[in-house]
Amino acid sequence: MNKIILALLLAATLEAKVYDGVAVVVGNKAITLLDVKKEMKTDKVDAKKAVDILIRKKLESMEIKKRNISVTSSEVYDDIKKMAERNKMSINDFYDAVRESNGLSSEELKAKIKQKLLSQKLYNAIAMSSMDEPGEEEIKDYYELHKNDLKHPASFSVVIYESKDKNLMKEKVDNPMFYSPQIASNEQVLPYARISPELASLLSKTKVGHFTPVVPNGKGGFMSFYIKSVESAKDAGLESVRPQIINAIMGEKREAVLSDYFARLRDNADINTIRMPK
């Protein structure tokens, strides 16, 4: 009798250890309390939202495996190469820029790119067969509803500061009156339509009279843009933003299809909530 009780206690202890630290089980995949806390910190969301995000990721991972979707190292490298080229950087400079801005090592970046490409292939497999190109009336309606959102600056008047010494560049950004002969500068007007989307985003997020963060300049040195002024774009009409509108509408349709698909997938999945972070 004592042996039976001991065996039962041992089994209960082992089961407790298996679930110790586990928040949710999706199928046979565990989401830990640590996973939830990391997601809360990364995306600045509450525990419930973090769990929803992580469940969606688990379902995506299971669906990728079920459909035998894969991504090669060459595909990952090509994607990184394209991003580096858009930013006019070498691969190594791009790695340095990502490490500086996001704290990601090259291996961590490759892992994220691989996951992004896997998700893209999955999304394409799910959504593309269910989507039609928007019609003319749909495009016109979207334009009228989102006129203000579709506007962007015509150009940026900037002073570009460059140096091989990163610390000197940081000193210049922190103290605009700082001078060093090792920091070169030149004024330029950068048309929005002629710069990379990444640079356009960086400049758009920086207020007039302020410096952008220090970034690699693609030549082994570092740079920062001081925003002198921003020229507003004139409304050029629907035709000037037609491709942007079509992309936006297709993006909304795609997200609607995917949301519906994964909602149904979640309803049919075996999801067991063990505990939530306190």
Percentage of the chain beyond pLDDT 70 is 91
Q: What is the mean pLDDT of residues 118-138?
A: 87
| Average pLDDT score over residue span 95-106 | 83
Rounded-to-integer distance, Cα 199 and Cα 272, Å:
44
121 and 171, same structural domain?
A: no
Quick one: 178 and 223 in the same domain? yes
Query: Which residue among 232, 247, 273 closes a domain?
Result: 232
Within a domain: 3: no
Q: Which long-range contacts (CB under 8 A, 24 or more apart) does 63-72 make?
A: 63/122, 63/265, 64/118, 64/119, 64/121, 64/122, 67/122, 67/125, 69/118, 69/121, 69/122, 69/125, 70/118, 71/114, 71/117, 71/118, 71/121
Query: Looking at residue 237, what is its pLDDT?
Result: 75
pLDDT tens for residues 227-249?
Answer: 999 988 766 678 878 888 998 99
Question: How many structural domains comprise the chain?
Answer: 2
Range of the domain at 121: 73-130
Task: Give yes or no: residues 180 and 221 share one domain.
Answer: yes
CATH code, domain with 195: 3.10.50.40
What is the C-alpha separation between 19 and 218, in angstroms, rounded? 49
Classify residue 139: in a domain, yes or no. Answer: no
Residue 66 located in a structural domain: no
The three-class DSSP label of residue 70 is: coil
Residue 17 has pLDDT above 50, yes or no: no
Could you tell me the pLDDT band of residue 9, with boundaries at 50, 70 and 90? very low
Residue 168 and residue 217 share a domain: yes
Question: Residue 107 pLDDT > 80, yes or no?
Answer: yes
pTM of the model as a whole: 0.64
Q: Which pLDDT tens digit goes with each residue over 144-164?
A: 898 877 778 889 999 999 999
96 falls in which pLDDT band (50, 70, 90)?
confident
